[in-house]
Chain A
Amino acid sequence: MTDHLLEVRDLSVEFHTAAGTVKAVQNVSWHLDRGETLAILGESGSGKSVSASAVMNLIDMPPGRITSGQILLNGRDMLAMTAEQRRRINGCKIAMIFQDPLAHLNPVYTVGWQIAEMVTTHGGTRDKAQARALELLRRVGIPEPEVAMRKYPHQFSGGQRQRLMIAMALACKPDILIADEPTTALDVTVQAQVLELLEELQAETGMGLLLITHDLGVVAEIADRVVVMNGGQIVETGNAAEVYRNPKHPYTHKLIDAAPGKGAMPAERDRTGQPLLRAEGLTKTYGAFQALKGVDLTIMPGETVAVVGESGSGKSTLARAILRLDDPDRGRILYRGNDLMAMAPRQLFGLRRDLQMVFQDPTQSLNPRMTVFQLISEAWVIHPEILPKGLWRDRVAELLVKVGLRPEMAARYPHQFSGGQRQRIAIARALAMEPKLIVCDEAVSALDVSIQAQVIELLDGLRREFGLSYLFIAHDLPVVRDFADRVVVMKSGEIVEEGPVRQIFDAARHPYTRALLSASLDPDPAVQAARRAARPLETA
């Protein structure tokens, strides 16, 4: 009665937690055909991964419970099968790859063994498995495949690890590959390569590809059809290009509008006068690794300078060096003309409040045992000259309102907030110091696009209100385009290009900058299709 390869019908899953029953997905239906790519698009908590987990039988029951629905593989209901039958399907008919390949590969076994295990688990001989593993390593483009067989996951780069995951998933030639945020943890250029590899492999094998993502750009690049999820329900489904052009549901509308990189770029600023901060010739080595090779940087009062680059480019080291969280080996850091490097600890302590930092992961940067009030008011415990104790409560309330939270939230603990709210708390904490410069190290990278847009807007508003300067460390170019005055592009510890945002985005000079720009994905499927067509055919 059904001719779909995989079909999920009216699936509802709930989780029983201490806080009550959570309906993770409700009456979700979608289908996937051979050779097709279906993207499930949603933000965190939308339930986008739940139906895939149900397909793979990865939902722990309890606390999870499938309350209704069917999962049909070639017309047979998988939910009616025994655990052993389900196990045989996993890996063999349907394989899955995950977001963080380092965590998802077993650290204590060689990659050759792990890929071969997929074959032996499903009845292949050891010799056959070894041969297949070697063949796959070669196919996914791992250099020196014979040597790589005996290496461990930590000995590969992030992009290579995802290739290893893909090789493992394809070992038994599955009909369906489920990819859960496969490129989220990767650099843009690597992301482009991995997506390309997936497309090629799909064309070769004719498998159905189910892609779970939060990234409109990824959808635009690779998906045929898209399912948009919000709050555990499907809000819209259809052809990817069609949905982007003509979103029917208000949520889809909102999601597309929130995608960064479409706004007007700020005009060039006047950069005369005394800079707020100037770094000269910063170098930093870790053992034999040169993280910074003589970096110069100037930030004017009220200016937002973005530092972009891929992992290992030294951008975070630069941020930490400027704040003297990690002292650079050589170089000067002039804050309003005073050299921070030459300062005594006591003098530096006084200046610390002017220079604040907001980190990438607010879950880790906020002490879980402190209330929001304690977290924010700690600034005044350390620097009592800022505010007399009697005014703390009012000021905390004021700051919370300023960052878009409510004053009564001061009594709560960080775990009671969502990721976006936590980042707001971290911003409020930085503001409590009344700083002149806030260093944001990937401060919005971990947030959903709609939340990201809100936090950027908040930072922008605060800049206007307090005349703040930002040093904005990011790997995400579209966000930078919307927010920064000036862009510094880093690669391997050096600045390869620097200039006003318009110049970088409209007339990049350095080939690396151009590579970064072309690898970053546009949310518009039409734009991506045009870029794909224009791409050189070197890999084909």
Chain B
Amino acid sequence: MTGFIGKRALASGISLIGLVILVFFLSRLTGDPTNLYLPLDASIEAREQFRELHGFNDPLIVQFGRYVLDLAQGDFGESLQQARPAMEVVLQAFGWTLRLAVITMTCVTVAAIVIGSLAAFKVGGIFDRIATFFSLVGASAPDFWLAIVAIVIFAVNLHWLPTSGTGTPWHWVLPVAVLFVRPFGLILQVVRGSMITTLSSAYVKTARAKGVRTRPIIFVHGLRNAMLPVITVIGDQAAAILNGAVVIETIFGFPGIGKLMIDSILLRDFSVVLASIMVSAVAIFIMNLLIDIAYAMLDPRIRY
């Protein structure tokens, strides 16, 4: 197992290096940030000084060498915009997104598994109808539209919930609810399909012949076997939120990593862009590792 983790970490490290190189040069292609930070009437000297200060006058390859040297010492550079260490800015935003992702995915997973399993147990029953409805909604309703409609109804008209920002638990309700819909619909379908297969399996027949009660048949005998494909999709969806639910975070003014990334790209805040991408990449690596470990825990036939 440790050998497996080590091997995976090595492979991910290599791709991370490639990613850093690629993003470093690509982001430099977007142009000079000087004009975005200094006022329109700033003097040529002031501009020169700004460039000199941040090293934008050096050849790209020299800038890159410097960046790598700094990285080696754990220095991810400064945010141009906030004049704070880039990693500090990124980790703060990532903390918000991580909480958003964990809350949303916990709700999604629990709801999808319970409703999906019950839907599979009685195809055509009430839970099955909920499953069908939500997967249709999840697949077809664009999240930005859902977000705006939700704000109009629950915040503007009914005054039940705040429109945007953070602060109280109530601020979390709308973003979580809107982010919930798509993964819920998708995972529900996967749970349902996987459970239908599992519940018609031979070992479930054995459990019935043993006289096992209905609930343990579904949630003990069936579910653990049905979880393997489900976990893959859960990981995938969680990664999507971790990577920045850009649209949702922007609409709800949520200070997460998605919003940060978009803002820093628009402002050519290169150090922050690079740091965000590295944090996301590491998060996804850990996510995948967790999925693999979950696989091995659920199914004794899988050993690394």
- Contact (A154, B301) CB under 8 Å given A100-B202, A104-B205, A106-B203: yes
Interface residues of A in 58-107 (CB under 8 A from B): 58, 87-92, 95-96, 98, 100, 103-107
Chain A nearest CB: distance from B109 CB in Å?
19
B126 on the interface (CB 8 Å rule)? no
Residues from chain A with a CB closer than 8 A to the CB of B207 are 106
Q: Does B209 contact A (CB under 8 A)?
A: yes
Query: Is A510 in contact with chain B by the CB < 8 A criterion?
Result: no
Q: How far is A107 from B227 in the complex, measured between Cα atoms in Å?
A: 13
Report chain A residues within 8 Å CB of B221: 106
Per-position binary interface string of chain B over residues 192-232, scored 1 when its CB falls under 8 Å from any chain A CB and 0 otherwise: 00000000011101111111110010000100110000000
Q: Is the CB of A90 within 8 A of B210?
A: yes
Q: How far is the CA of A56 from the CA of B212 in the complex (A)?
A: 12
- Is B88 located at the chain interface by the 8 A CB criterion? no
Q: Is B59 an interface residue (CB 8 A)?
A: no
Cβ contacts under 8 Å, B209 to chain A: 56, 58, 90-91, 95-96
Cα separation A268 to B221 with both chains bound (whole Å): 56
- The answer, among A92, A105, A152, for a CB contact under 8 Å with B206, is A105
Contact B211 A91 (CB under 8 A): yes
13 pairs of residues in contact across A and B, judged by CB atoms under 8 Å: A56-B208, A56-B209, A58-B205, A58-B209, A98-B205, A103-B203, A105-B206, A107-B300, A108-B298, A109-B224, A117-B210, A117-B212, A165-B206
Tell me which residues from 289 to 304 in chain B have a Cβ below 8 Å from any Cβ of chain A.
298-301
A497 smallest CB distance to B (angstroms):
37
- Of A88, A106, A165, the residue contacting B225 (CB under 8 A) is A106
Q: Give chain A residues whose Cβ lies under 8 Å from the Cβ of B203.
A: 103-107
**CB nearest neighbor in B for A56:** B209
Number of residues on chain B facing chain A (CB within 8 A): 20
In this complex, how many residues of chain A approach chain B with their Cβ under 8 Å: the count is: 28
Question: Which chain B residues lie closer than 8 Å to A98 at the CB level?
Answer: 202, 205-206
A168 partner, pick from B202, B210, B300, beta carbons under 8 A = B210
Binary interface profile of A, 125-169, with partner B (CB < 8 Å = 1, else 0)?
A: 000000000000000000000000000101000000000010010
CA distance A109 to B300 in the complex (A): 8
Inter-chain contacts of B205 with A (CB < 8 A): 58, 98, 104
B224 proximity list for chain A (CB < 8 A): 108-109
In the assembly, what is the distance between CA of A117 and CA of B213, in Å? Answer: 11
User: A83: shortest Cβ distance to chain B, in Å?
Assistant: 9
The docked-state distance in angstroms from the alpha carbon of A109 to that of B299 is 9
A57 within 8 A of B: yes
B61 to chain A, nearest CB (A): 48
The reply to whether A107 and B211 contact each other, CB–CB distance below 8 Å, is no
The answer to whether A106 touches B206 (Cβ under 8 A) is yes
Alpha-carbon distance between A165 and B203 when the two chains are bound, in angstroms: 11
Question: Which of chain A's residues have a CB closer than 8 A to the CB of B212?
Answer: 91, 117, 121
- CB contact between B211 and one of A88, A105, A152, A154 (< 8 Å): that residue: A88
List residues 252-304 of chain B with CB under 8 A from any CB of chain A. Answer: 298-301
A466 to B299, CA, bound (A): 51
Bound Cα distance from A451 to B231, whole angstroms: 45
B299–A108 touching, CB < 8 Å: yes
Across the A-B interface, the 3 shortest Cβ-Cβ residue pairs: A90-B211, A91-B211, A103-B202
Alpha-carbon separation in the docked complex, A95 to B298 (Å) = 28
Among A90, A92, A95, A165, find the residue whose CB has the most chain B CB atoms closer than 10 A: A90
**Complex Cα gap A212–B301 (Å):** 31
Q: Which residues from B are CB-within-8-Å of A88?
A: 211
Query: Do residues B206 and A104 form an inter-chain contact, with CB atoms below 8 A?
Result: yes
- The complex places the Cα of A174 from the Cα of B263 at a distance, in Å, of 71
Known pairs A91-B211, A95-B210, A108-B225 / 6 extra A-B pairs, C-beta < 8 Å:
A87-B211, A96-B206, A104-B205, A106-B203, A107-B203, A107-B225
Compute how far the CA of A71 lies from the CA of B210 in the bound complex, rounded to whole angstroms.
19
Q: Which of A389-428 contact B (CB under 8 A)?
A: none
Please measure, in the bound complex, the distance between the C-alpha atom of A91 and the C-alpha atom of B221, giving whole angstroms: 16
What is the distance, in angstroms, from A136's C-beta to the closest C-beta of chain B?
Answer: 14
Given contacts A100-B202, A121-B213, contact A107 B208 (CB under 8 A): no
Question: What separation, in Å, do the CA atoms of A89 and B209 have in the docked complex?
Answer: 9
Cβ-closest chain B residue relative to A154: B301
User: Which B residues lie within 8 Å of A122 (CB)?
Assistant: 211
The listed residue (A95, A103, A121, A152) touching B301 by CB distance below 8 A is A152
CA distance A121 to B203 in the complex (A): 16
Q: How far is the CA of A165 from the CA of B205 in the complex (A)?
A: 13
